[in-house]
Amino acid sequence: MGKTTGFMEYDRAEAAHRPVRERIGDYDPYLLPSSEADIRTQSARCMDCGVPFCHAALHVAGTSIGCPLGTLIPEINDLAYRGDWEMAYRRLALRHPFPEITGRVCPALCEGSCVEGNYSEPVAIKDIERTLATQGLAQGLSRPRIPAPTGKTVAVVGSGPSGLATANALSLLGHRVRVYEREDRPGGFLLYGIPNMKLEKSIIDARCALLTAQGVEFCCNCEIGTDRSIEQLKAEHDAVVVCIGARQQRRMQVPGSDAQGVYTAIEYLTATTRQLLDGTALAAGLSAEGREVIVVGGGDTGTDCIATAIRQGAANVSALEIMPALPAERAADNPWPLWPRVRKTDYGHEEALEVFGREVREYETTVSEVLQDAGRCIGIVSVQVRWERDGSGRFTPVELPETAATRKADLILTAMGFTGVEPALAAKLGLPTTPRGTFQASEGDALGRGGFATPVPGVFVAGDARRGPSLVVWAFQEGIRAARECDKYLRR
């Protein structure tokens, strides 16, 4: 695929970033567009590797091998290299419902399994995908497809990544789909959980407009279980698919953590995006301007908090991560083609290095106490940890009291991940949950068939609400597979 000798002739080149000092002054995308010449060169690096793992769509040993959607990457690269961009986009869209989104927010599981990456640097698949998808949308190559109606109606609860994927797949099968969203706009976590500089909200608007033209109806400001019962949905529709995500946030459980000035990352990021979309002022308590900010937790959400605080003019930002730093290269127990667990410098870390002149991440460090004055946080006591095995053999963090240190902080953002579906919402929906905090669903077979039906007839579940907290690309896959199972039920 691509150019026969391209992998020997060209080096990997990722999309260029806007200069840090320029981009921290706004919330516009931090990535610069790649030219057609850039994409053709990178596509030329795709090897005729015989057995491509980049689109394997496997989950092995708790991690991923290749794109979960089975995107036909070698074929797409070959078409892009030959300059047939329209066909390359159509090949991309054949297996992938929203490549313009993953081309911006996915960690590129495909690149982790690229055969060339086992020897040198992987093909820049994510940049190729982003560029093809962006141009495809701009040129109108993605058009509504309206099949013959089946006469069946389906309610989809939630318009995050799994909800959008489910709605898209069911509408393409001819079913009438109505999506219920508790927020004021569709998009769920994609809209309010990811900042605009990483995922432009115009991208979400454009995709939702296409879904609307395809026949999908969005009902916003409607929370199922409060504004409308699950019983009403079941009575009005032939099937229901619940895609509410796993939005129960893990919070700090330390003395003083109830102080004013302590917020979850999602509270903070959501408020910032609302300000951007509505043009209103951000509440004083949620602005990082001139403040000492501490981000507790890492991952993509922690990075987004760092980047957002910098744009708001934070006086200083530190990020405490309880986990050890990842190695610079693959460890022996993380062989190719598994997703490489290696340390990376993301866009927010890059910005912090230039603005503050230092690496803001501190590893194996956590908060043991939040210090208050008249109910407001004024600082923290941080402590280093050592990871040891407990009686059951699991690694657990053990605090080292001698390392305790007091730090200033008047804005604390917790990016500590999620634990499952929101218990209150789960209770309102009346669906049984698992010990992991997800909804119960039927078991799938070894080929990945089935596994989305709840114990309630005609009610299915998909995405993080079934799988547990995961990546956007896995939520897309979940939505597509749940739609197939729902379709089988409707056609019985």
Residue 235 domain-assigned (yes or no): yes
Residue 397 domain-assigned (yes or no): yes
From CA 252, how far away is CA 244, in angstroms rounded? 23
Residue 43 domain-assigned (yes or no): yes
13/104 same-domain check: yes
Tokens matching residue 57: 């769509």
Tokens matching residue 402: 């001698």
Residue 377, domain extent: 265-415
CATH number at residue 99: 1.10.1060.10
Q: How many independent structural domains does the chain possess?
A: 3
292/361 same-domain check: yes
pLDDT at position 447, please? 61
Tokens matching residue 312: 């708001």
CATH number at residue 347: 3.50.50.60
pLDDT at position 406, please? 97
382/407 same-domain check: yes
Residue 31 domain-assigned (yes or no): yes
Residue 374 domain-assigned (yes or no): yes
196/131 same-domain check: no
214/277 same-domain check: no
pLDDT at position 171, please? 98
106/26 same-domain check: yes
316/242 same-domain check: no
Residue ending a domain, choose from 394, 415, 436: 415
Residue 255 domain-assigned (yes or no): no
Q: 294: closest CA among 380, 177, 189?
A: 380
Residue 146 domain-assigned (yes or no): no
481/348 same-domain check: no
From CA 186, how far away is CA 199, in angstroms rounded? 14
* Helix orientation angle between 161-172 and 201-213, rounded to the nearest 10 degrees: 20
pLDDT at position 398, please? 95
Residue 133 domain-assigned (yes or no): yes
275/411 same-domain check: yes
423/401 same-domain check: no
Residue ending a domain, choose from 138, 170, 201: 138
Q: Which residues contact 379 (CB under 8 A, 6 or more apart)?
A: 370, 371, 406, 407, 408, 409, 410
Burial (Cβ within 10 Å: 0-12, 13-18, ≥19) of residue 432: exposed
360/386 same-domain check: yes
> CB-side exposure of 163: number of CA atoms within 13 Å?
30
Report pTM. 0.95
Residue ending a domain, choose from 391, 415, 439: 415
- pLDDT tens for the 492 residues of the chain, in order: 678 899 999 999 999 999 999 999 999 999 999 999 999 999 999 998 989 999 999 888 788 899 999 999 999 999 999 999 999 999 999 999 999 999 999 999 999 999 999 989 999 999 999 999 999 999 999 889 899 999 999 999 999 999 999 999 999 999 999 999 999 999 999 999 999 999 999 999 999 999 999 999 999 999 999 999 999 999 999 999 999 999 999 999 999 999 999 999 999 999 999 999 999 888 878 999 999 999 999 999 999 999 999 999 999 999 999 999 999 999 999 999 999 999 999 999 999 999 999 999 999 999 999 999 999 999 999 999 999 998 888 999 999 999 999 999 999 999 999 999 999 999 999 999 999 999 999 977 656 677 899 999 999 999 999 999 999 999 999 999 999 999 999 998
309/290 same-domain check: yes
Residue whose token pair is 């089946």: 150
